[in-house]
Amino acid sequence: MAGASFFHEDERVREEMAKDEGKTVTVKSSDGEVLEVEEAVAKEYQTIRQMIEDGCADSGIPLPNVANKILAKVIEYCKKHVDAQKTGDDKIQEEELKAWDAEFVMVDQAMLFNLIL
C-alpha cells in the first residue's frame, strides 16, 4: 500500500513538473542579485512555492533573508532533485541522490547553518 501511494505521489510530482516546463520565476537575494530560475526548480523551495501558489511571483520574488551565495546553493540542491525526478530508474536514482546529498552538505559550519535556515 505504501508503495502505491509513493508511486502516486511521484506521478503527481512529474505531472506538475511537466506543467511548469519552460516557465521561469525571478528571485532576488538579500544582496540584490537577481536570478532567473525554472519554476519547477523554484517550487522545491517551500517559501518560493507558497509565493507562486499565492500569485505573488509575477514581479519577482524578494528573499530578504537569503544571501546570493546561499540562494545559489539552495537552487543547486533543488535543481539536482528536480532533475533526479525526471529520470527513469528510481532505485539507482535514489542511491545516486543520497551520495550527492551527502557530498552537498560537506561545507563549512556557517554555510551549513545558513542552508538549514
15 vs 103: CA distance, rounded Å = 29
70 vs 117: CA distance, rounded Å = 10
Q: Fold for 2-116, please state it.
A: Potassium Channel Kv1.1; Chain A (3.30.710)
108 vs 3: CA distance, rounded Å = 37
Predicted confidence (pLDDT) at residue 8 exceeds the cutoff of 50: no
Pick 90 or 101 by higher pLDDT: 101
Where residue 4 falls among pLDDT bands split at 50, 70, 90? very low
Domain ranges of the chain: 2-116
